[in-house]
Homo-oligomer: A and B are copies of this chain.
Amino acid sequence: MKKIGFVGLGSMGLPMAINLSKAGFAVTGFDLRAEAGQALAATGAKAASSLSDAFAGQDATVLMVVNAAQAEDIFFGQNALAAMPNGGVVVLMATCPPGTVAALAARVEAAGYAFVDAPVSGGVVGAQAASLTIMGAAPKAVFAKAKPVLDAMGSKVVFMGEKAGQGATAKAVNQLLCGAHLAVAAEALSLAEKLGVDMAQMLDIVSGSAASSWMLKDRGARMLEENPRVTSAVDIFVKDLGIVLEAGRDAKAALPMASLAHQLFLSVSGRGLGGVDDSQVIAAYRALQGRGD
């Protein structure tokens, strides 16, 4: 595996493609926005002139796209997969529902290609530092082939199983925790606010006690700001908790806490705030508690 195509050069994909290039892979990256391709080319990698360039002649092509529907459209709608040499490896790293990933993998394999289900955790910071957690699933021989590619983008590459969808499942469990923790942090801080507690002191206490979570420590301070910078948008959790609930529906598993957290993110998005920082899920609580009426 030397020649790697990369589709989706967004805030995550661009630094991931750059890290692949730095690790010695010959990277050809594509994005609908030409400036993203130019940003990649500026680091010494190659900007693809068309989508099929990111597949033609490649040993593997990594997809860091928005969702499974976009991946499917790229593979079969726009027929880019057919440009890849037979036996080539497709690595899907976007967050997608496990069932959808399994179905997509079956189609890709039927067309004569290998498929690696490999969603990530760690955000833009992890993408830039090549310190992502990567939850991979593929037949063992395929996973072994793809491992050096994954290692170039993450510091913790975990083999979740041989079936496509098992990586997506791990990611869904991960996102259930992240999204619900965000909503719980917002609920706790909104209670403190309503009760007139010194918020900075409160955050300091719960960040250092058994009450702490990674999300509380990372997003807590921004929950107290009116217009914080956006590290990840509310609509990302509208999507990701939707995927969690779809995984639950497919398995007939009841997920009451995740379902409630999803409703809170939805209500913030529905107020036109889908693009603001996800710490602003606290806006749902401020509406509930009557602040700012």
Residues of B within 8 A of A11 (CB): none
Residues of B within 8 A of A227 (CB): none
Given contact pairs A169-B192, A209-B133, A254-B289, A216 touches B177 in the complex (Cβ within 8 A):
yes
Is A122 interfacial (CB 8 A cutoff)?
yes
Question: A residues 213-255 with Cβ under 8 Å of B?
Answer: 213-216, 218, 244, 247-248, 251-255
Give which listed residue, B187, B208, B210, contacts A123 with CB less than 8 A.
Answer: B210
B170 in contact with A197 (CB, 8 Å): yes
Is A156 interfacial (CB 8 A cutoff)?
yes
Is A51 interfacial (CB 8 A cutoff)?
no
Chain copies in complex: 2
Choose, from A86-94, A142-150, A257-265, the stretch at the interface: A257-265
**Count of residues in A whose CB is under 8 Å from the partner chain:** 67
Choose, from A30-38, A54-62, A66-74, A178-186, the stretch at the interface: A178-186
B169 in contact with A195 (CB, 8 Å): yes
Is A158 interfacial (CB 8 A cutoff)?
yes
B257 in contact with A194 (CB, 8 Å): no
5 closest residue pairs by CB, A with B: A177-B211, A213-B213, A180-B184, A194-B253, A121-B209
Q: What residues of chain A have their CB less than 8 Å away from a CB belonging to chain B?
A: 98, 121-123, 133, 135, 156, 158, 160-161, 166, 169-170, 172-178, 180-181, 183-185, 187-192, 194-195, 197-198, 201-202, 204-206, 208-216, 218, 244, 247-248, 251-258, 260-261, 264, 285, 288-289
Minimum distance in angstroms from A77 CB to a CB of chain B: 29
Minimum distance in angstroms from A202 CB to a CB of chain B: 6
A176 in contact with B170 (CB, 8 Å): no
A135 in contact with B205 (CB, 8 Å): yes
Given contact pairs A197-B160, A215-B210, A257 touches B257 in the complex (Cβ within 8 A):
yes
